[in-house]
Structure 1
Amino acid sequence: MFEARGAHTFDYSLHQGSPTRMQFHFADSMAMPVAIQTWELEPGGYEGMHSHHGDGMAVEEFYLVLEGSAQMQVGQEHYELGAGDSVLAPAEVEHDLRNTGDGVLRVLVVWGEAGSKDFSGFGSLAASLAARAEGTDGTRG
């Protein structure tokens, strides 16, 4: 299956936030139990402070900035984000994303019900855990 950038986009306001240009990748055609979306927020745009509880599903959200700059609040923590930075918003923790730049903010968002998983059979997990244990920041000298 293939889906081009910008295919089937629509404007949607999340959690009383500003209008967001959204692409819901492979909506209802994936077997993985997650939603994968690309969001575009105009300068000054924001998602809206919210958490996912009491709505029938404890949703965890992963945000990866593709282009632009943003500020994100997760609980009491505040993060300044640029391209390549990512944030995980645990289920039931209030959070908000804001475009703090002069251009469009493009973000890849993956969300789904919190639960268990087992990736222990994959070498990339072992390598990632080793890098984290060594304190490696991923830069190359």
Structure 2
Amino acid sequence: MLEKRDAHGFTYRLHEGSQMVMHHHFAGQTGMPVAIQTWVIPPGGFEGSHQHGEDAQLVEFYQVLEGTGRMHVGTQTYEVGPGDSVLAGPQDVHELINTGSTELRVLVVWGPPGETDLSPYGSHQISQRLRAELPE
């Protein structure tokens, strides 16, 4: 299946944030227990501060594709740009803000917490080994 960039975008407002354009890739029909979305947040726009705790246990992965922003996760604040990734756990209060003068395009993958065994895969093994070698 192919889904072209911006083919199925719609205007949406999350968590009392500002309006953005959202793309819910394959409308949840990937066969994986996650949602895969692209958000396009206008300059000055924001997601809205929130957490996924008691009723909806969710983990969210954000990767900046284009633009710049500021991400608050718990007590941490991160300045983010293209290629940067941030992970927000179910209890983390978090928010993404577009701090740039252009659109902020972000890949967001979210779903319930859980684990899967990726150890048989070579790319996972290399990543784990590299992370163990890097100083904190």
After TM superposition, the runs of 4+ consecutive aligned structure 1 residues lying more than 3 A away are: none
1:117 deviates by: 1.1
Once the two structures are superposed, the pairs formed by residues 103-114 of structure 1 within 5 Å of their partners are 103-114=102-113
Q: Distance in 2 between matches of 1:125 and 1:47?
A: 31
Give yes or no for the alignment of 1:130 onto 2:129.
Answer: yes
Structure 2 stretches lacking a partner, 5+ long: none
Q: How well do the aligned residues superpose, as a CA RMSD in angstroms?
A: 1.0
TM-score w.r.t. the length of structure 1 is 0.93
**Counterpart amino acid of residue 83 in structure 2:** G
Moved more, 87-96 or 127-136: 127-136
3-state SS of 2:95 partner: strand
Q: Do structure 1's residue 28 and structure 2's residue 28 form an aligned pair?
A: yes
**Equivalent position of 2:81 in the other structure:** 82
3-state SS of 2:100 partner: coil
- Does 1:41 pair with 2:53? no
Aligned AA (2:5): R
Counterpart of 2:10, as a letter, is F
What CA distance in whole angstroms lies between the structure 1 residues aligned with 2:28 and 2:103?
A: 27
Shift of 1:28: 3.1
Question: Percent identity among equivalent residues?
Answer: 53
Aligned residues: 135
Partner of 1:139: none
One-letter amino acid of the structure 2 residue matched with residue 68 of structure 1: G
Q: For residues 28 and 22 of structure 1, what CA distance do their matches in structure 2 show?
A: 13
Counterpart for residue 10 of structure 1: 10
Supply the distance in 1 between the matched residues of 2:87 and 2:66 (Cα, whole angstroms): 18
- Matched residues in 1 for 2:123 and 2:61: separation? 19
